């Protein structure tokens, strides 16, 4: 199957700093990627849909100025958590469909565990 890679897998930062997480589709092009957030022992909550070459679409309740998404190429989307605070600590996972398909299997990255001190 298609491969989606995330980096870094773990990051610890001080409160007030910004953190960037990368999501890459390694062997396919993805015009659309999705960013999810997962709290311990909870489900995946969709944060935003990242669209190549255009603005991301954010889910209700997600602050777009807090979680900056850039999808500059067909294989890379980035999520920047700005001015991070302890409550932003979470597991962030990106996903994409192969070939920009509108339906079908969604492939997930390994996830990035953010800890804000």
Partner 1 sequence: GENVEQHPSTLSVQEGDSAVIKCTYSDSASNYFPWYKQELGKRPQLIIDIRSNVGEKKDQRIAVTLNKTAKHFSLHITETQPEDSAVYFCAASHKAAGNKLTFGGGTRVLVKP
Looking at the DSSP bridge assignments, the partners of residue 115 are 12
Q: Which residue in the set 20, 62, 110, 115 belongs to the binding site for partner 1 (CB under 8 A)? A: 110
Is 105 one of the binding residues for partner 1 (CB under 8 A)? yes
Residues 6+ away with beta carbon under 8 Å from 74: 25, 29, 30, 31, 52
Is 54 one of the binding residues for partner 1 (CB under 8 A)? no
Cβ atoms of 81 and 115 closer than 8 Å: no
Q: Nearest distance from residue 87's CB to partner 1, in Å?
A: 21
Residues forming contacts to partner 1 in the complex (CB under 8 A) are 34, 41-46, 49, 57, 93, 97, 102-103, 105-106, 108-111
């Amino acid at each position: 199957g298609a491969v989606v890679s995330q980096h870094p897998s773990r990051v610890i930062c001080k409160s007030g700093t910004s953190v960037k997480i990368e999501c890459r589709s390694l062997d396919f092009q993805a015009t659309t990627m999705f960013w999810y957030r997962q709290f311990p022992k909870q489900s995946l909550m969709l944060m935003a849909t990242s669209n190549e070459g255009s603005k991301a679409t954010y889910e209700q309740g997600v602050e777009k100025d807090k979680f900056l998404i850039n999808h500059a190429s067909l294989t890379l989307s980035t999520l920047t958590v700005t001015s991070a605070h302890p409550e932003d600590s979470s597991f962030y996972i990106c996903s994409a469909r192969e070939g920009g398909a509108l339906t079908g299997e969604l492939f997930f990255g390994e996830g990035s565990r953010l800890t804000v001190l």
